[in-house]
Structure 1
Amino acid sequence: MGKGKAPKPPDMTKLANAQTSANIGTALTERMMNMGGGMETPDGSVSYSQSGIYDWTDPVSGKKYSIPLMKSTTSLSAAQQAIKDKSDSAKLTAAGIADTLGRQFAQAGDFENDIDNRIYDMGLKRVQPRMDEARRRAETNAVNRGIRPGSAAFDVLMRDVGQQENDAYTQLALNSRGQAMNERAQRAGEIAGFLGMGQPAAAPVAPQYQSNLPTVDHIGLGMQNYQNQLGAWQQKNQSLNQALGGMFGIAGNFIKYSDRRLKTDINKVGRTDDGQNIYSYRYRGDKRMHLGLMAQEVEKKHPDAVVDVGGYKAVDYSKALHLGA
């Protein structure tokens, strides 16, 4: 049997636009709530102000939204500002020292080799006289023992003396290199230390207050409303089908007066499967409500289903509705 018109599904574009607006409004409200009214402490304060507008366009709907841009401003108390000024001045001085040391470090050429050579020369001034004295004593002892210069025994003796000198010079070189590396590391550490002292202080962090506002679910509400309307429509038509089915489902010939001239309080309540209108009505002089077709309409679609009974039109429902076919 026919149904009335089903409820239209919601306009998803409108629901999506409403949802986007609700989401943005909720987000902005949460942000303002999270900011609070600023902060006041004995050491200073934090305040908020709008710094501009960001125009955002929804890539789906093309709708434009104006998003306020906010900034936080931190102000120190007089005492804390004085401390900060002195701290900044000290850091600026430290940064200048680090810069000077760094330039000296870079301009010294091979800094480590310069230090190595300097320390080696200083050590050589102590070691060289001792080496010379040791060589003279070795030569004197050789002569006193009858070993003459130029002899094989003298050469062997002098090679031993030379080896001792080489060992002493090698040890001096190793010591000077180690001291040079230590001094270089110390100088680099000084530069790093001054650089650390010269670092700017971290920017103060504005206080954050957490809130969680529920967003209106326009899409969910719209779909729920549609489901409710659809359910009501389906329930209504189910009841109508049951009533019509009970009347129209009778097998055999079922002829009933359906002439519009005999009816009153006529209201269209649905359609049959083949598109014929179904009406509720009362027969004139009868208070009971009936459901059925209108003979004048059936005659246009199924003329063989309409008969004349005493000058009034009647409908053979088995033919009009093809029951039992």
Structure 2
Amino acid sequence: MHTPKAPTPPDPTQTAAAQTSTNVDTAIANAGLSHTNQITPDGSLTYSQTGTQTMTDQNGKTYYLPTYTATQSYSPANQAIYNQTQQTQLGLAKLANEQTGKISDLLGTNVDLSKENIDRYTNDHWINGFNDTWDRNQASLEQKLADQGIKMGTPAYFNAMNDFTKQKQSANDQYLGDMYSNAQSSILTQRNQPINEISALMSGSQINQPNYVNTPSTQLPTVDQAGLINDNYNQKLGIYNQQVANQNAAMGGLFGLGSSLLGGWAMGGFKSDRRLKTDISTVGKLDNGLPVYAFRYKEGGPMQIGLMSDDVREIHPEAVFEHPDGFDRVDYGQAVA
């Protein structure tokens, strides 16, 4: 019988290439499904393919992958607001630049927080108010002494004024100590004010970045191309194994018949005449070209496997003889040799 041909195993390189191609196609489809154009009252977001990029796999095959551009547009009203805001911010940025030039000399000078400068600052800004208060207190004291009949130049007058002078000096020392930190803060404030103004102008001139809307993502499952190829191979291999098993069973039956024909021949040979059989179907072929059939005898019995005398007569006529009953018999030992 002809030996069944085993299926060719899948080429790993071709299988990998097929899987890669499937993965790339799925990725491109998923990207396209994820690019959902959006239109809202505030603006719109649209996607468009603007080119391609190439990718080469490990087998040297080149794929062309589409590249996309997302474009965000404001509504007409929002666009007008955006344009006006940009002009305002640009003006603030220019003003900040001008102010920076004006304070360049200030930034190059160290801040003077020495005791002398702080005392000078205090005297320049607050000492007049302190002196005015104590001048009024002195006039009030002098009026009080006069009302009491204490005249200028008397010991009582001298003692009262001496106490007043000590109180004023003590108050002056306390006042200067209290105002020391205030003077420091004021000097630093004057120094930092122009810088803070420029910083405020610059922060007001920052450009607002557009906000992109999250779009729903649709994912197609990747086809297991490599698995399908291997499954197909395994199915073919199973069919091949079954064919081999059937052939082995058929050959075993035929040669079993051939080895038992010595007794069968003496008893009149093996019935191989086609006219005695029914339900005939071809199941294979011997290496010498003889077809092998499955059949039943018309007289009854199970399905059997064997040869037909008319086929054997064409190749091994010496293995065929006619029985007295008028039907052919076949010597299987010679027929399958």
TM-score of the superposed pair, with normalisation by structure 2: 0.57
Paired with 1:128 and 1:280, the residues of 2 have a C-alpha distance of: 141
Q: Which residue of 2 aligns with 1:144?
A: 158
Deviations 1:234-253 (A, max 9, x none): 33334444555677799xxx
How many residues align? The count is 266
1:85 pairs with one of 83, 88, 91:
83
Q: Which residue of 2 aligns with 1:21?
A: 21
2:227 paired with 1:220: yes
Which runs of structure 2 are paired with 1:153-302 in the superposition (5 Å)? Answer: 165-180=172-187, 190-205=197-212, 208-241=215-248, 254=259, 281-282=291-292, 289-290=305-306
Does the 8 A contact of 2:49 with 2:67 survive in 1?
yes
Q: Which residue of 2 aligns with 1:34?
A: 34
Structure 1 residues 312, 51: closer, same or farther in 2, change over 3 A? closer
Which runs of structure 2 are paired with 1:50-65 in the superposition (5 Å)? Answer: 50-58=49-57, 60-65=58-63
Q: Give the 3-state SS of the residue equivalent to 1:74 in structure 2.
A: strand
2:71 pairs with one of 57, 63, 73:
73
Deviation at 1:213, TM superposition (A): 1.8
- Please list every run of 5 or more consecutive structure 2 residues that lacks an aligned counterpart in the other structure: 142-152, 263-271, 273-281, 298-303, 308-330
Amino acid at match of 2:158: N
Structure 1 residues 88, 266: closer, same or farther in 2, change over 3 A? closer
Paired with 2:231 and 2:92, the residues of 1 have a C-alpha distance of: 68
Paired with 1:16 and 1:133, the residues of 2 have a C-alpha distance of: 103
Deviation at 1:170, TM superposition (A): 2.1
Does the 8 A contact of 2:48 with 2:69 survive in 1?
yes
Deviation at 1:221, TM superposition (A): 0.8
Paired with 1:222 and 1:84, the residues of 2 have a C-alpha distance of: 58
- Please list every run of 5 or more consecutive structure 1 residues that lacks an aligned counterpart in the other structure: 147-153, 270-276, 292-308, 316-325
Does the 8 A contact of 1:102 with 1:191 survive in 2?
yes
Q: Give the 3-state SS of the residue equivalent to 1:289 in structure 2.
A: strand
2:138 paired with 1:122: no
Amino acid at match of 1:30: N
Paired with 1:217 and 1:169, the residues of 2 have a C-alpha distance of: 87
Q: Give the 3-state SS of the residue equivalent to 2:21 in structure 1.
A: helix
Deviations 1:252-276 (A, max 9, x none): xx5779xxxx9xx89568xxxxxxx
Paired with 2:25 and 2:16, the residues of 1 have a C-alpha distance of: 14
Does the 8 A contact of 2:10 with 2:230 survive in 1?
yes
Structure 1 residues 44, 282: closer, same or farther in 2, change over 3 A? closer
Overall identity of the aligned pairs, in %: 27
Deviation at 1:233, TM superposition (A): 2.3
Structure 1 residues 232, 279: closer, same or farther in 2, change over 3 A? farther
Deviations 1:165-201 (A, max 9, x none): 4432222111222345567777666555433332212
Structure 1 residues 104, 223: closer, same or farther in 2, change over 3 A? farther
Does the 8 A contact of 2:34 with 2:218 survive in 1?
yes
Deviations 1:54-78 (A, max 9, x none): 12222x1121112222212333343
Q: Which residue of 2 aligns with 1:319?
A: none
TM-score of the superposed pair, with normalisation by structure 1: 0.59
2:47 paired with 1:48: yes
Amino acid at match of 1:289: I
Amino acid at match of 1:61: N
